[in-house]
């Protein structure tokens, strides 16, 4: 027989029975042949053979694999044992489900956002490139098309360099114009991304040259193809919009392709040799390059900087002050979320640790309770290792059950996170993949080791003989120290989490309570689609915006309307460096201010008080600037500012110096979490296509939205209004991550508090239970009931106190994780820490008082009679 | 041992079983009978202990087994020697020879 057949052929019980049966019968036949009666022969045969059952057992032993078999025995035993104590098991599994579930949920977010590779071939070689003007306050700028071509041509370390920018497009096929997003890309875009169209082909070389006509080629997204062409494979060559001389579809991108972001549906290519693209000061593109295989980041960076140095010599006017900023695509895409996610992960890991400690003390309590059982097993010959292993196997089974339930919890939490944290890039990819499963399994093993090891070792080393003799009698002041340590650890971890959550919540409150200097209530904000192409005729663009504003102002219920390049209070930094020919600034003095581009009516709409002079209502439009109070106090120091002239140090649009026409109150334009800083408002309709319209309504702003949409359809039928929402909602969303962070960490902290409470209560109740006799004896011997209660409560509180002190120390160390996330509070904020201690103290008091009082109410007679 | 029968020396059962099986395929009962017959009724195998030994040897790959018809026309499990078992038997025979010789030498000392 082949070895594998032999391996497959396990000795089945029936076969063994038959083999032995045959032997017995043959033996009996032999004896009958020797003259015995049948019955006697059989009896003799059986006697001679020995116990058939014992023989069978011995044969089975031969076929057992010792370790595996021992593990199986333990497992069977372990499954049976928890069943006997289902409340205990349920408590453990529920605790672990909560702990591992929350942990796995956060891990699944980290997995989706940070760990999973970007969905392009060799994504590690993709680098994002910017122009870098080291001398400016805001040094990072997009890249000019002609410069991008130079970089691509002259470097030796990149396979190819391309670029993109995103602008609005309109889908006018439906009843209301709908906004689309399109990307304008530089040549070689798909080559850099390493992606091919699913249907059709990449841009042809002819597409990447300027012909003077508007005939263009376009790549469309899979989504656009399905919704607008019903997935028709004959889409290639069809016009994009049916009614005009429009771009032709040349290809459909694969379903998962979402670059620059997932809402982009159309990709057009920009011809770098078009006349409007040749100005080296026109910076458009976020450049993206693919490093050659084997080239390090450092080599690529050095190479590009050398290239730019050469360009600086070639074009001294435009390129001399420039350098190159290079950052990996992954870092650009998710860099900002890393700290937040790791903070949450730390919080949720602390929670899991608390859960582990809880489980550990539950196990420990149960092991002590089962001391008798263990002692019995020792005396029957079980080794210490066997008993320890049994405890470990039991905790592993509980942990695995907890992990399995945790996956369900994680899936649910992941869904919640997806909708709550929609602003985090790639969060939509949260799902259960092998990494998450592996993580949950690792958690189970880790939990087993952390929570099971100590009880296991303790049970393994319990003195067997003594315990057995002692029975359950005379349990005086024993086995309490380990539990005390566990409770202390729990309290410390919970206090740490509470303090951290307290800091975040205080930041959030501080942020919402601060007066921003403008009134966001009753303001409806929206955007209108527009393209960068319109900036070619600024006068026409400004008059169009003003017409829209006039129409809005004429609507009933509208008190004021204006346009702005940025939403007030939503964090955007746009610092400019200024010069002034007539302000008498010292030549070395750097005058910097946040720049805002606003139309007439802005200060009225936002209710920002005009302190001196006027707002932006000067005529002709686009002549004045308004500064805020901080600007005046920073740079004019008592001198009058009105009438002086300001200009951008680097002035690409040629605004020239403009007179200061007014001074307004300080408003937190660049973010609610930023202290007022110097701001300069450039008056005149903002020419950037990404402008915002702000409408102050008499009533509820949301109620005004349908009316506004109707009006816009009437006056701008070819444009789509989008992001129509009250400004307050925009502000809330802008700080959604702060809120989410505070809420989640707060949730973790409360859960931790609850777990610690359960842990303390459970442990003390258990201690009291075990020491009933001692307590009964004490009371019988005349100890006061108050004294007994105090004894237990004070011991519990002492442990909690040590835990709290340790927790505060831990928190003081851990707050460094929150660098940059705190607003309006110091990292050692006494209020947050005080609340953490108070909350813990209150819970600890409750959790110790109940068992302590219960101890003092024991009836000594009843207890002593229990023997 | 007064009745002229001998219990097996520890560790020799395996060798005897291998030897008997080497003579041709045989079932468990047959093995116990043959050991008794060949040793002229001197060696008595504990019938029960035969089966754990058989299964152990089979597990080690020295024996192979197959169900077949016995002399009495009933189904029985027949054991036969594998190539590996043949080698093992040779090794054990050599070993036994050395051991027996050595014991003999000691017993003959001083005669």
The angle formed by the CA atoms of residues B38, B40 and B44, to the nearest 5 degrees, is 85
CA dist A70 → A8, A77, A280, A696 (Å):
21, 10, 77, 77
Nearest CB to A1 within list B33, B47, B64: B64
Residue A50 at interface with chain B, using a CB cutoff of 8 Å = yes
pLDDT of residue A366: 78
Q: Which residues of A28-50 are buried (b: 16+ CB within 10 A; e: fewer)?
A: bbebbeeebeeeebbebbeebbe
Q: Which of A18, A22, A58 sits opposite B29 (nearest CB)?
A: A22
Residue A687 confidence (pLDDT): 63
Taking the domains of chain B in order of start, what are their residue ranges?
13-108
Which residues sit opposite B77 in a β-bridge? B67
Q: What tokens does A139 get?
A: 């040094």
Q: How far apart are CA A256 and CA A296, in angstroms?
A: 28
Give the H/E segment covering residue A613: strand A610-613
Structure tokens at A326: 């290079």
pLDDT at position A462 is 57
Which residue of B55, B78, B83 is the best one to mutate when testing the A interface, meaning the one whose CB has the most A CBs within 10 A? B55
- Least Cα separation, residue B57 to chain A (angstroms): 10
Separation between Cα atoms, residue A173 and residue A74, nearest integer Å: 69
CA distance B99 to chain A (A): 28
State how far the Cα of A602 lies from the Cα of A626, in Å rounded to an integer: 11
| Count of alpha carbons within 13 angstroms of residue A438, beta-carbon side | 4
Give the separation between CA A374 and CA A848, rounded to whole angstroms.
Answer: 30
Please judge whether B48 and A11 are an interchain contact, meaning their C-beta atoms are less than 8 angstroms apart.
Answer: no
pLDDT at A858: 81
State the pLDDT at residue A686.
66
Q: What is the CATH number of domain B13-108?
A: 1.10.10.10
Are the beta carbons of A15 and B70 separated by less than 8 Å? Answer: no
A389 min Cα distance to partner chain B (Å): 28
Among partner residues A16, A52, A62, which is closest to B56 by beta-carbon distance? A62
So what's the pLDDT on residue A67? 62
- A6 vs B70: CB contact, 8 Å cut-off? no
DSSP-assigned letters across all residues of A537-606:
SHHHHHHHHHHHHHHHHTSTTEEEEEEESS-TTS----EEEEE-TTS---TT--EEEEEEEE-TTHHHHH
pLDDT at position A212 is 66
Using CA atoms, how far apart are residues A64 and A352, in angstroms rounded to an integer?
Answer: 39
Q: What is the mean pLDDT of each run of 10 residues along chain A (867 residues)?
A: 47 78 86 86 84 80 68 68 68 85 86 81 91 82 90 92 89 79 90 91 84 75 90 85 72 88 88 81 89 92 93 88 88 76 86 87 78 74 77 84 86 78 70 82 84 78 52 47 82 91 88 86 90 78 87 91 90 84 79 89 92 81 85 86 85 76 91 87 74 91 90 86 90 83 87 86 80 83 84 86 92 82 83 91 89 83 70
Strand spans (E) along A110-193? 126-132, 140-141, 158-171, 178-185
Domain borders along chain A are: 3-63, 134-321, 337-472+480-512+737-865, 530-719
Residues 6+ apart with CB under 8 A from A690: A527, A565
Residue A523, strand partner residues: A696
Q: Which residue of B has its CA nearest to A50?
A: B48
Q: Rounded to a whole number, what is the distance in Å from the CA of A40 to chain B's nearest CA?
A: 18
Q: Measured between alpha carbons, how far apart are the two ends of chain B, in Å? A: 24
Tens-place pLDDT, residues A459-514: 766 555 454 445 444 444 455 677 788 888 889 999 999 999 999 888 888 888 88
Chain B positions in Cβ-Cβ contact with residue A61 (cut-off 8 Å): 52
Closest CA in chain A for residue B74: A22
Contact A231, A225 (CB under 8 A): yes
**Secondary structure of residue A172 in the 3-state scheme:** coil
Which residues of chain B have a CB within 8 Å of the CB of A26?
Answer: 29, 70, 72
Token output for A401: 């059950």
Question: HSE-up of A399 (CA within 13 Å, CB side)?
Answer: 27
Residue pair A100/A107 in contact (Cβ under 8 Å)? The answer is no
Q: Which of A22, A23, A29 sits opposite B47 (nearest CB)?
A: A23
- Residues in A touching B61 (Cβ below 8 Å): 3, 6
- Residues of A with CB below 8 A from B58's CB? 6
Phi, psi for residue A663 in degrees, rounded to 5: -125, 130
User: Which H or E run contains B57?
Assistant: helix B47-60
**Cis amide bond preceding A620, omega within 30:** yes
Those residues whose C-beta lies under 8 Å from the C-beta of residue A255, and which sit 6 or more positions away, are A198, A222
Please name which of A37, A39, A18, A32 lies closest in space to residue B29, comparing C-alpha atoms: A18
Residue B106 CB-half CA count within 13 A: 5
- Looking at residue A867, its pLDDT comes to 54
Chain A nearest-CA distance from B77, in A, is 6
The pLDDT value recorded for residue A12 is 64
Other CB atoms within 10 Å distance of the CB of residue A464: 18
Given CB atoms, is A61 within the 8 Å cutoff of chain B? yes
Res B2: pLDDT: 41
* Contact residues of B toward A, CB < 8 A: 27-29, 32-33, 46-49, 51-52, 55-56, 58-59, 61, 64-66, 70, 72, 74-77
The answer to whether A358 and A42 are in contact (CB under 8 A) is no
Tell me the residues of chain A between 30 and 49 that have a Cβ less than 8 Å away from chain B: 30, 48-49
């Amino acid at each position: 027989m082949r070895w594998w057949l032999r391996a497959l052929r396990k000795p089945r019980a029936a076969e063994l029975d038959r083999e032995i049966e045959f032997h017995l019968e043959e033996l009996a036949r032999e004896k009958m042949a020797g003259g015995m009666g049948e019955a006697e022969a059989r009896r003799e045969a059986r006697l001679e053979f020995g116990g058939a059952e014992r023989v069978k057992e011995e044969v089975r032993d031969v076929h057992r694999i010792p370790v595996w078999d021992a593990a199986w025995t333990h497992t069977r035993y372990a499954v049976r044992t928890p069943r006997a104590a289902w409340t205990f098991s349920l408590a453990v599994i529920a605790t672990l489900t909560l702990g591992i579930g929350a942990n796995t949920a956060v891990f699944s977010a980290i997995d989706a956002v940070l760990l999973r590779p970007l969905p392009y071939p060799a994504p590690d070689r993709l680098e994002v490139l910017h122009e870098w003007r080291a001398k400016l306050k805001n040094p990072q700028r997009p890249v000019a098309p002609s410069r991008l071509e130079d970089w691509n041509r002259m470097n030796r370390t990149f396979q190819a360099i391309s670029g993109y920018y995103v602008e609005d497009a309109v889908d006018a096929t439906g009843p209301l114009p709908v906004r689309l997003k399109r990307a304008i890309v530089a040549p070689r875009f798909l080559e850099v991304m390493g992606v091919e169209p699913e249907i059709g082909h990449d841009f042809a070389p002819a597409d990447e040259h300027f012909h003077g006509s508007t005939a263009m080629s376009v790549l469309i997204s899979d989504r656009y193809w399905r919704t607008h062409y019903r997935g028709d494979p004959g889409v290639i060559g069809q016009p994009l919009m049916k009614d005009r001389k429009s771009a032709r579809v040349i290809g459909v991108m694969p379903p998962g392709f979402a670059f620059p972001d997932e809402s982009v549906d159309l990709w057009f290519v920009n011809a770098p040799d078009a006349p409007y693209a040749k100005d080296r000061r026109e910076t458009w593109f976020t450049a993206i390059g693919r490093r050659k295989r084997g080239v390090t980041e450092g080599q690529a960076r050095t190479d590009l900087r050398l290239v730019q140095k050469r360009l600086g010599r070639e074009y001294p006017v435009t390129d001399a002050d420039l350098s190159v900023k290079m950052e990996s695509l992954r870092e650009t895409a998710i860099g900002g979320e890393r700290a937040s996610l790791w903070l949450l992960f730390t919080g949720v890991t602390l929670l899991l640790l608390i859960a582990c400690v809880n489980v550990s003390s539950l196990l420990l309590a149960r092991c002590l309770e089962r001391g008798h059982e263990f002692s019995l097993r020792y005396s029957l010959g079980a080794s210490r290792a066997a008993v320890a292993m049994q405890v470990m196997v039991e905790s592993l089974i509980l942990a695995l059950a907890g992990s399995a339930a945790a996956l369900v919890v994680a899936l649910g939490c992941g869904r919640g996170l997806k909708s709550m944290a929609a602003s985090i890039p790639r969060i939509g990819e949260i799902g259960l993949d092998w990494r998450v499963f592996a993580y949950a399994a690792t958690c189970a093993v880790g939990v087993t080791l952390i929570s099971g090891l100590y009880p296991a070792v303790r049970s393994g080393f319990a003195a067997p003989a003594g315990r057995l003799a002692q029975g359950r009698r005379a349990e005086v002041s024993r086995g309490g120290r380990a539990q005390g340590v566990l409770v202390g650890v729990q309290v410390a971890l919970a206090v740490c989490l509470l303090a951290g959550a307290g800091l975040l919540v205080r930041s959030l409150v501080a942020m919402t309570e601060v007066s921003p200097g403008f009134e966001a209530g009753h303001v409806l904000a929206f955007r209108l689609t527009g393209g960068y192409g319109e900036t070619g005729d600024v006068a026409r663009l400004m008059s169009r915006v003003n017409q829209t504003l006039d129409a809005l102002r004429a609507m009933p219920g509208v008190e004021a309307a204006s346009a702005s390049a940025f939403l007030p209070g939503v964090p955007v930094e746009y610092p400019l460096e200024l010069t002034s020919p007539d302000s008498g600034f010292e030549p070395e003095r750097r005058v910097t201010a946040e720049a805002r581009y606003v139309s007439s009516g802005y200060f009225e709409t936002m209710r920002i008080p005009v302190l001196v002079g006027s707002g932006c209502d000067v005529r002709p439009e686009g002549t004045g600037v308004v500064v805020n109070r901080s600007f005046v106090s920073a740079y004019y120091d008592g001198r009058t500012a009105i009438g002086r002239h300001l200009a951008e140090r680097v002035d690409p649009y040629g605004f020239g110096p403009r007179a200061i026409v007014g001074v307004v109150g300080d408003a937190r334009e660049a973010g609610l979490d930023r202290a007022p800083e110097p701001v300069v408002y450039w008056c005149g309709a903002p020419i950037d296509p990404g402008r915002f319209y702000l409408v102050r309504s008499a009533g509820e702003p949301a109620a005004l939205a349908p009316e506004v949409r109707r009006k816009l359809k009437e006056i701008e039928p070819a444009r789509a209004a989008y992001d129509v929402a009250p400004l307050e909602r925009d502000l809330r969303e802008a700080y959604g991550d702060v809120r989410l962070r505070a809420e989640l960490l707060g949730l973790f902290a409360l859960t931790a508090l609850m777990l610690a409470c359960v842990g303390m209560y459970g442990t003390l109740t258990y201690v009291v239970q075990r020491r009933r006799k001692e307590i009964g004896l004490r009371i019988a011997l005349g100890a006061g009931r108050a004294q007994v209660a105090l004894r237990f409560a004070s011991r519990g509180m002492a442990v909690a106190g040590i835990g709290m002190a340790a927790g505060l120390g831990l928190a003081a160390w851990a707050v460094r994780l929150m660098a940059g996330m705190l607003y309006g509070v110091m990292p050692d904020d006494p209020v947050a820490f005080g609340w953490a201690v108070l909350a813990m103290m209150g819970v600890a008091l409750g959790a110790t008082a109940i068992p302590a009082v219960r101890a003092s109410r024991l009836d000594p007679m009843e207890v002593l009679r229990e023997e | 041992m007064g009745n002229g029968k001998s219990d097996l020396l520890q560790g020799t059962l395996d060798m005897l079983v291998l030897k008997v099986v080497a003579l041709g395929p045989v079932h468990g009962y047959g093995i116990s009978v043959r050991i008794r017959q060949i040793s002229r009724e001197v060696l008595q195998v504990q019938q029960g202990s035969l089966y754990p030994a058989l299964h152990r040897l089979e597990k080690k790959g020295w024996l192979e087994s197959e169900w077949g018809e016995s002399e009495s026309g009933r189904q029985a499990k027949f054991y036969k020697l594998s190539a590996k078992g043949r080698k093992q038997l040779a090794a054990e025979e050599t070993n036994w020879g050395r051991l027996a010789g050595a014991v003999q030498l000691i017993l003959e000392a001083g005669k």
